[in-house]
Amino acid sequence: MAKIQLPAEFKGFSEKFDALAYGQDASRVFDDMLAYIVDLFSFDNPWEPHGRYKDPEIRKRFFELFQEIVLLMNKKVRDDGEWYDPFGNLYETQIASHARRANAGQFFTPEHIVDLMVSINGEGRELTGKGLNFGDPACGSGRFLIAAHAKFPGNYCCGEDIDRTCALMTVCNFILHGVNGEVIWHDSLMPTKERFYGAWRVCPRPDLMGCPQVSKMEWEDTLCYAVWQGCLEKHQRETPENSTSESAPQQIVQLNLF
């Protein structure tokens, strides 16, 4: 299937990506690129190349792709309060086939709608540096969270998504925008350990001039777990002590006539 026409700004990335993905599944190579970027900032979890990626020349191409994205960010984000989602835009325009997007629902909200919704949620209040928790249970590429961070820095962002590619895109966007927060790869409609597949903590380090560090998280370490545990404890406190968890005996209804 033909790709969607790429904007001129993606030309440098597209040429390098096409050369790397030649003869491969482009979506798989894209996912591997995201994992490579995440592991560049995971000081305690170095990336382990596999298969054809063991070739040093191919690993160099991954780094060149990251360089293209950084150069693109330098053009798009010039002032405080601005944000840009290179990974979501690349995914929509080059990587995802129409079939995959239709099946997975990967249609990301346009940037101007994101800005509008973030402004509405702010309700004219000054939320900068308040230490609030901003959450998105279906974060996609993380647009709402990086937009909220750009408008109201100094808060904690938590993204959740059931799709691994989306979770990795959000982690990478957190890295590029200096977001302090976490990304959880799980089913946010059923937030249990059984439906938890992974999580990443992104934390800018002042001792490294703000360079972000990424570390993996267990389910019990996530904000989502803490929130649900808090709700459970509140429910238990509000439940009368004399209530019983035992269900009432089942009533037997006679259906026969005799």
Whether 59 contacts 49, CB under 8 Å? yes
- The pTM (predicted TM-score) of the whole model is 0.86
10-37 average pLDDT score: 91
CA dihedral of 3, 95, 149, 211, whole degrees rounded to 10: -130
The predicted structure's pLDDT at residue 40: 92
pLDDT per residue as tens digits for the range 113-156: 999 999 998 888 899 999 999 999 999 999 999 999 999 999 99
Band (253; pLDDT cuts 50, 70, 90): very low
Q: Which of 49, 46, 41, 96 is nearest to 70 (CA)?
A: 41
Whether 52 contacts 222, CB under 8 Å? no
Within 10 Å of residue 20's Cβ, how many Cβ atoms?
20
Q: Whole-angstrom Cα distance, residue 142 to residue 159?
A: 7
Contacts 24+ apart (CB under 8 A), 204-207: 204/178, 204/179, 204/180
Q: Whole-angstrom Cα distance, residue 217 to residue 194?
A: 15
pLDDT per residue as tens digits for the range 177-203: 999 999 999 999 999 999 999 999 999
Band (94; pLDDT cuts 50, 70, 90): confident
Say whether pLDDT at 258 is over 70: no
The predicted structure's pLDDT at residue 235: 86
- What does the longest C-alpha to C-alpha distance in the chain come to? 85
Whether 184 contacts 150, CB under 8 Å? no
The predicted structure's pLDDT at residue 252: 43
pLDDT per residue as tens digits for the range 222-250: 999 999 999 888 888 888 765 555 554 54
DSSP 47: -
CA dihedral of 169, 170, 171, 173, whole degrees rounded to 10: 90
Average pLDDT, the chain: 87
The predicted structure's pLDDT at residue 209: 87
Portion of the chain with pLDDT greater than 90, in percent: 61
Band (8; pLDDT cuts 50, 70, 90): confident
DSSP 182: E
